[in-house]
Amino acid sequence: MVLSPSSSDPNLQEPNARDAEALGPVRSNAPPYSVFTKRQKQFIVFLAAWGGFFSPLSANIYFPALTTLAKDYNASNTLMNLTLTSYMIFQGLAPTLFGDLADMAGRRPAFIIGFLVYIGANIGLALQNSFAALFVLRCLQSTGSSPTIALGTGIVADISTSAERGMYMGYVTSGSMIAPVIAPIIGGVLAEFLGWRSIFWFLVILTAVYLVPFLVAFPETARNVVRNGSIPPQSWNMSLLNYLEMRRARNTGDELTRTASRISQRAAQLELAKKRKLRFPNPLGTLRVIKQKDVGLLLLYSSLVYTASYTVIASCPYLFEAVYGFNDLQLGLAFIPFGVGALCAPMTTGRLMDWNYRRVAKKENFRIDKKRGDDLRNFPVERARLSVAVPMLALGAAAVLCYGWTLEVEAKLAAPLVLHFIIGFGLTSAFNCMAVLLIDYYPMSPSTATAANNLVRCWMGAGGTAAINAMINSMGRGWCFTFVAAVLAATSPILWVLLAYGPRWREERRVKGETDSRINPG
């Protein structure tokens, strides 16, 4: 059971209503968007990025061991790919529950529950002895780790305004981008020298190391729980440092001041608590996000971009073994260029998006307010984000096309590795731009919105992963990846539709949300 809002508070209503209202005017006398200092924000984002590291780490650390596991379990490559497909299916499902939990009860409880499930799954994976157990436990592993990316995105929306969101999104996604760089190397080394079981014991140890600073120092940031950070969370939801700080504050100053402070804080907590009720996490909030015209199109295209990227790395172990005769360690090293490109992407595009936001604002004579947030009703936020995504998308799609033909002619190893870097950089950059735009649409329920993104992209990616080896066998390497690039090109007009009609659809959603709030205030 988790805490959830009632619709009586505009900040705690059904996602469409409360997020549409958040795009409305910002009062000049409004309190600051977040009371966290810049240094605190950086620390919060650092831990959130580290948390987001685990989901792609668990996926990518596993790739170099696929061929070894296939031999141990006497399973075909297609059957082993089902463990990737199932992982991605649950990677899409789990955040729909955890996203709702995080937006309503807080980020910390969602993180902690997820990591407890994750640790249990990894212990099971290290001890199991059958393909069936491997399959089931991979689903459980994905369930525990995959919500961390959505939760990290929600944390960015909690503490940053639209004008600075690109930079912080770049930072928080860096954790998930670092994983493709180092995970296959770690997995290759462990599988080659200590056996594939050591991979899962490594994940158990790393998770325990992460939880120490998280439990000690990570504060609650969910705006439905602490507003802009000025209201203390529930006592059970405090970090150790928060708890010690509260105790120290209660022991300083005169008795009258301490009593007044406690009464004020308690009143604020009770006000929030009155507007929440216990219920099971509801994934339907995710479906309400998907059905919106602009959001649905955005999720469809960003998922195609993600699927194109994932088909490249999912097929890499088999292609590189067939073409270049790689062992587990060499396969792990082969993922480095893709990972480096993916790592460079969020840092580069984050700064580009913030720069482009300022450029578009200047052109539109729009005043940016980093302290309280911006009124996005009359601001073309679609142009600020997507004009950065389009050139990156073109670069990535062209690289996918070339990649297939370098493998078709079995070119020297340098060619596909260079193209791996370009694909990782271009497609990840485009995907990140669209992810930031999604958060601009839903600033008050960002984890739910990102869960919708995960659901669509992971299920579509799972389909691509399940089909890619069969496509390569039937179409050939060159024509297979030509088809993948052609799909991206053929569906790219979706971005132009969003640029042309997105502002109008966004305003219609805002007006409808305000109307629904007035008609059904309770």
CA distance 299 to 449: 10
Identity of the amino acid at 1:
M
Residue 20: predicted pLDDT: 47
Q: Which of 8-22, 131-145, 362-376, 507-521 has the highest mean pLDDT?
A: 131-145
Tell me the pLDDT band of 216, cut-offs 50, 70 and 90. very high
Q: What are the C-alpha distances in Å from 459 to residues 85, 94, 515?
A: 8, 12, 34
- Token readout for 162 is 């639209």
pLDDT of residue 177: 67
Pick from 334, 352, 339: nearest CA to 174: 339
Output the pTM of the full model: 0.69
Q: Where exactly are the structural domains of the chain? A: 7-19+34-229+277-519
The tokens for 414 are 């340098």
pLDDT number for residue 273: 52
**What pLDDT is recorded for position 453?**
79
Q: Is the pLDDT of residue 7 over 60?
A: no
Alpha-carbon span 450 to 147, nearest angstrom: 9
Listing DSSP states for 131-180 in one string gives: HHHHHHHHHHHHHHHTHHHHHHHHHHHHH--HHHHHHHHHHHHHHHHHHH
Q: Does domain 7-19+34-229+277-519 have CATH number 1.20.1250.20?
A: yes
Query: Tell me, what's the pLDDT at 28?
Result: 54
Asked if the model's pLDDT at residue 15 lies above 60, the reply is no
Res 396 pLDDT > 60? yes
Nearest to 112 by CA among 193, 215, 213: 215
Question: pLDDT by residue (tens digit) across 49-99?
Answer: 899 889 888 887 887 788 788 888 888 777 887 888 788 788 877 877 787
Of 301, 485, 499, which Cα lies nearest the Cα of 394?
Answer: 485
| The 3-state secondary structure of 224-248, one letter per residue | HHHCCCCCCCCHHHCCHHHHHHHHH
Distance (Å, rounded) from C-alpha 80 to C-alpha 88? 13
The pLDDT score that the predictor gives to residue 275 is 55
**110-119, 342-351, 353-362, 367-376: which range is least confident on average?**
367-376
For range 460-478, the mean pLDDT? 84
254-263, 392-401, 500-509: which has the highest mean pLDDT? 392-401
Range 127-132 average pLDDT: 89
- Judge contact between 309 and 428, C-beta under 8 A: yes
Give the model's pLDDT for residue 281: 59
The top-scoring range by mean pLDDT among 56-60, 90-94, 167-171, 304-308 is 304-308
Q: Are 102 and 88 in contact (CB under 8 A)?
A: no
pLDDT at 31 over 80: no
Sorting pLDDT into bands at 50, 70 and 90, what band is 199? very high
CA atoms within 13 A on the CB side of 42: 3
In this predicted model, what pLDDT tens digit does every residue of 369-391 receive, in sequence order? 676 666 677 788 888 899 999 99
Q: Cα separations (Å) of 194 from 66, 234, 264?
A: 15, 44, 57
Neighbours of 253 (CB within 10 A): 12
> 293, 108 in Cβ contact below 8 A?
no
175-184, 250-259, 450-459, 488-497, range with greatest mean pLDDT: 488-497
CA atoms within 13 A on the CB side of 405: 7
pLDDT beyond 90 at 140:
yes
Q: For tokens 């790592």, what's the residue?
A: 343
pLDDT in the model for residue 8 = 36
The residue length of the chain stands at: 522
Burial 137-163 (b: 16+ CB within 10 A, else e): bbbbbbbbbbbbbbbbbbbbbbbbbbb
Average pLDDT of the chain to the nearest whole number: 80
Top-confidence residue, 14 or 304: 304
Residue 3 has pLDDT above 50, yes or no: no
Give me the numbers of helices (H) and strands (E) for the chain, helices first please: 22, 2
Q: Write down the residue that tokens 């299920």 correspond to.
A: 459
Rg (CA), the chain: 23
> pLDDT-based confidence at 485, cuts 50/70/90?
very high
Four-point Cα dihedral 360, 361, 362, 366, nearest 10: 150
Six-digit token string for 3? 């805490």
Alpha-carbon gap, residue 352 to 365, rounded angstroms: 20
**288/253: higher pLDDT:** 288
Q: For 283, list phi and psi in degrees, rounded to 5.
A: -75, -5
Q: What is the pLDDT of residue 63?
A: 77
Q: Looking at residue 138, what is its pLDDT?
A: 92
